[in-house]
Amino acid sequence: MKKPFSKQPAEKMLSQKQINRRNFIAFTSFIGLNALAFGGWRWLYKSPKEESGITAGARKPLRKALNQNELLFRKTFSNDHLVKTYPVSMADPNVRVNSLIGIEDANFDAAKWSLTINKKDGSQLQLNLQDIMALPKTEIVYDFKCVEGWDQISHWGGVKFSDFIQHYNLQQEAALQYVGMVTPDKTYYVGLDMPSAMHPQTLLAYEVNGKPLPVKHGQPLRLIIPVKYGIKNLKRVGSISFSDERLPDYWAEQGYDYYSGL
Ligand SMILES: Nc1nc2c(c(=O)[nH]1)N[C@H]1C(S)=C(S)[C@@H](COP(=O)(O)O)O[C@H]1N2
Ligand SMILES: [Mo]
């Protein structure tokens, strides 16, 4: 009578020599891979830190990887990519407030406020709110996102940054790579890549929910830049500058991503 399993090839018995050999391979690769991981970590740990400046805190190889990521995102989400918008009825009437750096001065007088534009040739342009409100108005209702983990559909009104540039003949300035915006007291500041600033949904906003901006949202003028996280949406713009170098950014100095794109 045939055994049911006899067709199966007989299991090969491993000789003691083979077992020893396999143990040796397993053990040395275990040690080897650990040494490799440790070496990699030491390499990263010992590699120079980037110089403190616009961004700070990352080891150079990490920063290199971050910059590559940024390039990829900038190529993928070009200017033609519009942030999703919503009907006005979906805007939240109670707009959240997050962080008040640079807008805490109780003596601030919005009537005396003016916007300073630092032009490429070193000259300045001083504009008041009426100048800005005289330009074509654009409204947007979109999902505002804060890196701290909340988001909210909100409704803003103002002038498109790109319309503003055109109207005041700042094409030479817009040909540079970066824009910087600073609060009047200079305590909060953001640096932006020009394509994001010139994005068709980026506004210098003076209204929220159809009413003038209250202090807590950046009276009298704030940046609304829907392609970026909240941190870049500077409240109470005091001055605007242009450069081919990255301009200072409050949160990038604390280690947040300079680009902070969505
Ligand atoms: N001047 C100034 N602008 C600022 C901030 C700030 O602290 N000061 N915080 C930023 C952050 S982190 C967010 S999420 C948004 C919040 O805007 P909101 O308070 O109008 O919701 O403002 C941004 N702009
Ligand atoms: Mo935020």
For residue 167, tell me if it sits in a domain.
yes
C-alpha of residue 121 to centroid of ligand 1, in Å: 31
Q: In whole angstroms, give the CA distance from residue 219 to residue 197.
A: 20
For residue 248, tell me if it sits in a domain.
yes
Q: In whole angstroms, give the CA distance from residue 198 to residue 225.
A: 10
Q: Can you name the residues that pair with 151 across neighbouring β-strands?
A: 145
Q: What is the pLDDT of residues 108-155, one digit of tens each?
A: 999 999 999 999 999 999 999 999 999 999 999 999 999 999 999 999
For residue 2, tell me if it sits in a domain.
no
Residue 31: the pLDDT is: 72
The number of domains in the chain is: 2
pLDDT higher than 80, residue 45: no
Least confident of 28-32, 89-93, 131-135: 28-32
For residue 153, tell me if it sits in a domain.
yes
Q: What is the pLDDT of residues 6-23, one digit of tens each?
A: 555 555 677 777 777 777
202 and 119 in one domain? Answer: yes
For residue 102, tell me if it sits in a domain.
no
Domain that holds residue 42: 9-46
Residue 64: the pLDDT is: 76
Residue 5: the pLDDT is: 53
User: Which residue's CA is the nearest one to ligand 1's atom 16?
Assistant: 98
242 and 135 in one domain? Answer: yes
Q: Can you name the residues that pair with 138 across neighbouring β-strands?
A: 158
User: Which residue's CA is the nearest one to ligand 1's atom 15?
Assistant: 230
